Amino acid sequence: MKTLVVFAAVLLAASQLSAQNQPATKAEDPTTSEVKTLDKTTTPTDKGITLTNKTTPPADKTTVKKVEKKLAPEPKIPGLTIVRPNGTLLGLEVAGGNFKLSFYDKKKKPMAPDVTRATARWPNSRGPGDLRTVLNVSGNALVSEKPVPPPYVFRVYLTLLQGEGAEAKAVENFIVQFQG
């Protein structure tokens, strides 16, 4: 019985809502004998009914297309993006099971590495201690030789080095939350 009453109440409410959204009709202005068309934007006033028109002319399609062509999509840096102090960018990702650190200029275009190598350290999820690797130059990126075991959710400590052998100096350090 309760479901029948609830169903009747919902049906009554739906019919009331649909009755309020009637299409435009014609009504007579009480002050004059003119017939005016009513729509959803009609507002009543003290002197009668005032019609408002809130439609805008359609936009020129050619200008929209020109703007879309001028705005080229911004290049995407694969992996985790790291902003360097000089404004250039780094892209850290796991590619082929190894870390790959790519270098990008301020406009997100690939560039040659400006350091000789990097080191990476991250927690070992399968035992005590940390895992470490050295990233060496390979093309336009620094790539590690040691594989990175999954899961790829951990904090990475990156150190960028300039110089060779014992004369190598740390030029930049980053601590990033890696999720690859």
Query: What spatial distance separates the first Cα and last Cα of the chain, rounded to whole Å?
Result: 57
Spatial CA neighbour of 135 closest among 110, 112, 102, 108 = 102
Position 19 confidence tier, pLDDT thresholds 50, 70, 90: low
Neighbours of 148 (CB within 10 A): 20
List the beta strands (DSSP E) in the chain.
26-28, 35-37, 43-45, 48-50, 80-83, 89-95, 98-104, 117-123, 130-138, 141-144, 153-162, 169-179
- In words, the CATH class of domain 80-179 is mainly beta
Amino acid (1-letter code) at residue 6: V
* Percentage above 90 pLDDT, the chain: 54
Q: What residue ranges do the domains of the chain occupy?
A: 24-52, 80-179
Band (124; pLDDT cuts 50, 70, 90): very high
pTM above 0.85, yes or no: no
